Amino acid sequence: MRIITGSAKGTRLETLEGEMTRPTSEKVKEAIFSMIQFDVEGKRILDLFGGSGQLGLEALSRGADIATFVDSSREAAELIKKGEVVAIPTETVYGLAADAYNPEACAKIFKAKGRPQDNPLIIHICDLDMLKNSVKEIPPLALTLAEHFWSGSLTMIFPKKDIVPDTTSGGLDTVAVRMPDNEDTLNLIKMCGVPLAAPSANLSGSPSPTTAQHVYADMNGRIPLIIDGGECKNGVESTVICFTNGGTGIKVLRPGVITAEMLSRFAKTETDKNVFAKPDENEKVISPGVKYKHYSPRADITIIETDSDEKLAEFLNSKNDGGTYGVIFGGEKGIEVPTISYGSTAQEQAHNLFAVLRKTDELGAKRVYVRCPEKTGVGTAVYNRLLRAAAFKTIIL
Ligand code: TXA
Ligand code: MG
């Protein structure tokens, strides 16, 4: 077995060779923590960009073989240029990336996710030239927002140019664009020379992945490569907006950590009604994603709205049948069913929500009651995802 380390930018640092099945020396551990490509049960996983190295360590502890790799970002770019799909880290959630201008490559994303064809993909750019190359009109307000929020978790919708194929835009004449806040992913986009179309890297309907392990759980056998960039900073997807009033107003279609309050400093900002409501059957929605059940683990999810710790405990204890779990803020007393805390601030809850929902599946939960977050600021993003995970089922105590 061979291990070769390199730097995030693809420079070879040193080569270690030898027979080994687990990290036996500090030097090897160091190598593992930098950038190596692992082979886990025949599936290749790329661990680079200063990522946590967790997948690699887990692979080693199970006695997996390690494959050889040096220049990981170049290999990822080559795969993408060949029309393949690669999972990439971003500051929000992991994405399933392909050349946004290549319809066959983007079709592979839909196939890997099991995503409905009419649900458009976000394209990820590394500079404003890529924006200009992809869209017909850029309102001055968009440039102001780009200046303030890019690189970052704001996705803006523009009329698309023909270079963006219908497969990418789900048949719409618009395209959603963002510049992710992850230096290595920006470098990867630069190496590819084209925007990367990337939806969240989960199976359609499942909670979005915030670690490479989550991606592996959903995409094992479906894509050739996962880039392990460690845990995502935000934990919820980007804020999606469109422009109203001839490009002078903002409408939030999906809330994120860039809040409506933050956007309203730049222009009149409204929130689309489907952010918190179930679209009517046959309603024509602006953002096709809102039609689908989303973010949901296998367990049945219900939101519990209450100000009272006592009422919450009383309710959960009345459901104590072995399959019931509570997802709580943390510190609530008197609860007899198993609980997982997803944090007491909206930021923490955004960061932890999807990982906690996935955890409930691992624990074999049948029913999960999640304490409702605040409905302001970043809390709106958490509440929006929870509503869809729970298919809008809410109990008020
Ligand atoms: O943070 C994020 O945005 C992540 C990372 C990977 O960048 N991506 C992400 O993509 O969440 P996805 O495909 O899971 O969600 C994109 C959402 C969907 O609800 C989709 O319907 C909506 O954005 N969307 C995309 N293009 C659109 C368009 N042209 N018009 C309206 N809605 C659009
Ligand atoms: Mg998604």
pLDDT (tens digit, 9 = 90+) per residue, 331-385?
999 999 999 999 999 999 999 999 999 999 999 999 999 999 999 999 999 999 9
pLDDT score at 373: 97
Range with the poorest average pLDDT among 9-13, 320-324, 387-391: 9-13
DSSP state of 116: -
pLDDT mean across residues, the chain: 84
Would the CB of 255 count as within 6 Å of ligand 1? no
pLDDT (tens digit, 9 = 90+) per residue, 108-149?
999 999 998 889 999 999 999 999 999 999 999 999 999 999
- Which of 39-43, 179-183, 217-221, 227-231 shows the highest mean pLDDT? 179-183
Cα gap 373→60, rounded to integer Å: 39
Would the CB of 100 count as within 6 Å of ligand 1? no
Give CA 170 to chain center in angstroms: 19
Would the CB of 122 count as within 6 Å of ligand 1? yes
pLDDT score at 321: 86
Compare 378 and 26 and report the one with higher pLDDT: 378
pLDDT score at 286: 75
Among all bound ligands, the one having the nearest atom to the CA of 206 is 2
pLDDT score at 297: 82
| pLDDT category of residue 290 using cuts at 50, 70 and 90 | low
pLDDT score at 184: 80
Q: Which atom of ligand 1 is nearest to the CA of 240?
A: 23
Distance from the CA of 208 to the center of ligand 2, in angstroms?
Answer: 6
Would the CB of 287 count as within 6 Å of ligand 1? yes
pLDDT score at 3: 31
Give CA 139 to chain center in angstroms: 27
Phi, psi of 20 (to 5 degrees): -165, 155
CB 113 within 8 A of CB 176: no
Would the CB of 197 count as within 6 Å of ligand 1? no
Which of 110, 136, 155 has the most ligand 1 atoms within 8 A of CB, as the residue to mutate? 155
pLDDT score at 33: 43
| pLDDT category of residue 291 using cuts at 50, 70 and 90 | low
pLDDT score at 217: 86
pLDDT score at 293: 66
pLDDT score at 61: 52
Distance from the CA of 341 to the center of ligand 1, in angstroms?
Answer: 28
Distance from the CA of 21 to the center of ligand 1, in angstroms?
Answer: 41
The arithmetic mean of pLDDT across residues 152-177, rounded, is 98
| pLDDT category of residue 2 using cuts at 50, 70 and 90 | very low
Asked if pLDDT for residue 38 goes beyond 60, the answer is no
Q: If you take atom 29 of ligand 1, which residue's CA is the nearest one?
A: 175
Percent of the chain surpassing pLDDT 90: 65
- Which stretches of the chain are DSSP H helices? 26-33, 54-61, 72-81, 103-113, 128-134, 140-149, 166-169, 183-192, 212-219, 260-263, 309-318, 346-362, 379-389
pLDDT (tens digit, 9 = 90+) per residue, 220-258?
888 888 777 778 999 999 999 999 999 999 999 999 999
Among all bound ligands, the one having the nearest atom to the CA of 125 is 1
Does the model's pTM come out above 0.75? yes
| pLDDT category of residue 296 using cuts at 50, 70 and 90 | confident
Would the CB of 125 count as within 6 Å of ligand 1? no
Would the CB of 172 count as within 6 Å of ligand 1? yes
The arithmetic mean of pLDDT across residues 198-202, rounded, is 97
Q: Return the half-sphere exposure (C-beta side, CA atoms, 13 A cut-off) of residue 88.
A: 34
Q: Is 321 exposed, middle or buried (0-12, 13-18, 19+ CB in 10 A)?
A: exposed
Asked if pLDDT for residue 19 goes beyond 80, the answer is no
